[in-house]
Amino acid sequence: MAFLQKEKLFTLRWFKEYSFITIGAFILAMGFVYFISPHKIVPGGVYGIAIVVHYLTEGVFEFWPDGIPIGLFGLVLNIPLTIAGIKILGPRFGVKTVVGFVLSSVFMDLITYLRVDGSAPLVEDVLLSCVFGGVLIGFGLGLIFKSRATSGGSDIIAMIIAKYTGLQLGQLLIYVDSVIVLLGLAAFGDWQIPLYSWLVIYITGRAIDITIEGSNYNKALLIISNKHEEIKHKILVDLERGGTYFKGTGMYSGEEKEIIYTVVSRREVAILEQYISQIDPDAFITVMDTSEILGEGFQNLKMKIDS
């Protein structure tokens, strides 16, 4: 999480980032209300705890006959967690983070209140709900993260534990969310709930990555061939791509090798492989997936940061 930074109010970037937060919070809320909470799925985080509390308090309070509202309880948890995070970790949680979890909570309870069919799931199929709910939550969180805000909640718990234990933050996030998932198992006594919940956590993570990084269909290639000059010409002239030479030494032969590193589209991979097979069938090619390519010929780094 980034430390607090002063930002100019009412600039184009300011409007864009707060639009991302608002839209992201609304989409996240839709995912929970229509697909996740009606099936008692507990996908970690404060809203996972809130779902458990919501169903355990059903019929306990007269003014909340269906249980404590999920958004409200999530907000009640997020506020002290954020205050504790600021005191223990320092000013890492900006106004945008607070706006993000407040809007998420408000949208969650507002959508639930306005629904005609109450808390009924949009579709009865639990697996289908997990897939679509995970995608919506991940997309919403991705938009919030793109605005340089954070989700707060279990992230703060993991960061506090990391400070005092020295454990890796990524592992701790998994541990914290898993404990919350198992809380759902203990509360509802159904083994299907944690299994579906872990599926939602996985899908949400993938949706966040795609939202932030985009669907990248480019491939990175490492090519070792004695016909490297011909291959270079093919890449530069026919494909109109760039590349880099690396010096290498054969482990067995001890020969000096020219290694070509280049990034091309999936379609161009097939074209290049066919060409190399014709001029040097003994060439060695490694094709690697890429999550994000920034630089000349691809996405501009400055434009990405400014967008």
* Contact predicate 58/67, CB 8 Å: yes
Most confident of the ranges 169-178, 221-230, 250-259? 221-230
Q: What is the pTM of this model?
A: 0.77
- The least confident of 115-124, 167-176, 190-199 is 167-176
Residue 302's pLDDT band (boundaries 50, 70, 90)? low
212 or 194: whose pLDDT is higher?
A: 194
Domain containing residue 77: 12-213
Q: How far apart are CA 136 and CA 146, in angstroms?
A: 15
- The least confident of 95-104, 118-127, 298-307 is 298-307
Give residue 299's pLDDT.
59
Judgement on whether residues 196 and 79 belong to the same structural domain of the protein? yes
Q: Averaged over 193-206, what is the pLDDT?
A: 92
Looking at every residue in the chain, the average pLDDT score rounds to: 86
Task: Please report, for the domain that includes residue 224, its CATH number.
Answer: 3.30.70.120
Judgement on whether residues 44 and 154 belong to the same structural domain of the protein? yes
Q: How far apart are CA 87 and CA 84, in angstroms?
A: 5
Judgement on whether residues 36 and 107 belong to the same structural domain of the protein? yes
Strand partners, 218: 265
Residue given tokens 């390519």 in the structure block: 293
Judgement on whether residues 258 and 147 belong to the same structural domain of the protein? no
Distances (CA, A) of 58 to 19, 172, 194, 287: 35, 31, 21, 54
* Contact predicate 158/178, CB 8 Å: no
* DSSP-derived 3-state class of residue 261: strand
Judgement on whether residues 200 and 246 belong to the same structural domain of the protein? no
pLDDT score of 135 more than 90:
yes
Give residue 170's pLDDT.
65
Would 55 be classed as within a structural domain? Answer: yes
pLDDT score of 281 more than 70:
yes
Would 2 be classed as within a structural domain? Answer: no
Q: Averaged over 199-207, what is the pLDDT?
A: 91
Would 7 be classed as within a structural domain? Answer: no
Judgement on whether residues 247 and 109 belong to the same structural domain of the protein? no
Judgement on whether residues 167 and 237 belong to the same structural domain of the protein? no
Total number of domains in the chain:
2
Judgement on whether residues 209 and 225 belong to the same structural domain of the protein? no
- Note the residue count of the chain: 307
